[in-house]
Amino acid sequence: MKKLHFIILSLLTSFAIQTGYSQNKKPNILVILADDLGYGDLGFTGSKDIQTPNLDKLADNGVIMKNGYVTHPYCGPSRAGLITGRYQARFGLEINLTNSPYDMYNGLPLTEQTFANRLQKTGYETGVIGKWHLGGSDTFHPNNRGFDYFYGFLSGGHSYFPKNVKTHMPLINPKNNTPHYSANEGSYWPLTRNDQAGEFNEYLTTALSKDAAKFVSKSDKPFCLYLAYNAPHLPLEAPKETIEKYSFIKDKKRRTYAAMVDELDQGIGIVIEALKKSGKLDNTLIFFLSDNGGPRKMGETFASNGKFKEGKGSMYEGGCHVPFIVHYPNGNFKVKKFDGLVSALDIAATAVALGNGDTSGKSLEGKNLIPYLKGDKKGSPHEALFWRMQDGKAWGVRTMDAKFLQRNKKTAVPELFNMAVDPYEDYDIISKSPKLRKELAKLWNDWNSENISNIYLQAGAYQKKRLDMYKKMYEDLVEKSKKVKLLEIE
């Protein structure tokens, strides 16, 4: 009998090793971030024309955060908040950083830890694949910010096809021979793998997905992977055959955009399949969200944010209210849809709590979501969520019941909405609710008192100032040369 018990125990142990299953094993962490994805452009959020079966399945088997938000309505600041687990206004990063390879100051401040820093210290193998956008010099390189592995690009955007890769970007606009102040310098540069050039020989979304699949498959240690796609961010580029799949969409831009979202979904499917084959899916905590809403300005109307007003860059819901999924089979979640206020800040807090990560240094501002999803805690993880742009020229505060905001327009005035009955912000009640206005103003002012003003230049302005600096340096040297007495020899 003892021999039989020993055989059974050996078989079970072998099964656990082969499948990666262990009751005591730390969970793997996978954060999947889309870029400029419209809220209404996924099956589980109501899309009728774009097919996203892999994300729909992830949502069906996980938890949909009905009130899931990011901390800023556009790329760079939103990512800074997510990756640190702290409001980016705490450390003055409220703009899109440019990709400046020789600037040791222009990047995510070294005073801040990433969630990868915190998990790396407790034994996690960490990686980031895709878009970085948090500093282009070696000082801010992902390998120096807590990530053991990096494959992707440091800039804020990238072309999707290898044929478009160049070794530099022109600084002169050929149309008028004036300086070209690009906000996405590096968009056509080769990809990077750690500190070397990385191969790039297929559609970018697919290349990033396959690399992520390899990462999650090979790791024997618990892993934390930040998979930051640039899809479906501009430029609108997709494989011809996928575009043809959406030939029924009349608008050409939306047709290509739909193909890009489709390719994104296919790529996520590749990663999920790798987790299944390696026996790691059940023990992997997966977050999926977008960095902000879909673009809806300057003719960019190819994305749909559903019923939410406006989009990327806006203080209305279309700017920051994003598709948000949490998937973790071993979590034994008791809810399928969660109504409480959830922030991208919660990703770091939840991952660090489950992974027993380092909590030293500056405090994380998110909440561990697991007790809420298991039903151990009731209500909303946050009393209120906050937004700020341009040092407070535009702002917003949202509680479960109301939202008080001012948009980033010269003519904008404060607006107040009852979110319980008007989640799409159609009816401004500010004139009827002075008490509520005062309460929300106090919440925002108390929060803002711990912030600092922005300490960086927006990417385009940074490029202009840098090129002006080069010009001034040259002019100074020319002027100096006129005053130098030339040597004479005999």
Query: What radius of gyration do the chain's Cα atoms show?
Result: 24
14: CB partners within 8 A, 6+ apart:
none
Burial 349-379 (b: 16+ CB within 10 A, else e): bbbbbbbebeeeeeebbbbbbbebbeeeeee
Q: Which residue has the tokens 């890769």?
A: 165
Per DSSP, the three-state class of 346 is helix
Helix 252-277 to helix 53-61 angle (10° resolution) is 50
Q: Which residue has the tokens 């341009």?
A: 390
CA–CA separation, 247 vs 266, rounded Å? 18
CA–CA separation, 468 vs 462, rounded Å? 10
Contact call for residues 229 and 130 (beta carbons, < 8 A): yes
CA–CA separation, 217 vs 330, rounded Å? 18
| Number of alpha carbons in the 13 Å side-chain half-sphere of residue 408 | 20
| Number of alpha carbons in the 13 Å side-chain half-sphere of residue 489 | 0
CA–CA separation, 277 vs 351, rounded Å? 23
Amino acid at 473: M
CA–CA separation, 123 vs 106, rounded Å? 30
Query: H/E element holding 193?
Result: strand 191-193
Indicate the DSSP class of residue 392.
G
> What is the length of the chain?
490
Question: Count of CB atoms within 10 A of residue 69's CB?
Answer: 28
Please report, to the nearest 10 degrees, the dihedral formed by the alpha carbons of residues 41, 47, 50, 54 taken in order. Answer: 80
CA–CA separation, 406 vs 415, rounded Å? 6
Strands (E), 236-368: 284-290, 324-327, 337-343
Q: State the catalytic residues.
A: 75, 133
Q: Which tokens in the block code for residue 442?
A: 């106090």
CA–CA separation, 485 vs 291, rounded Å? 58
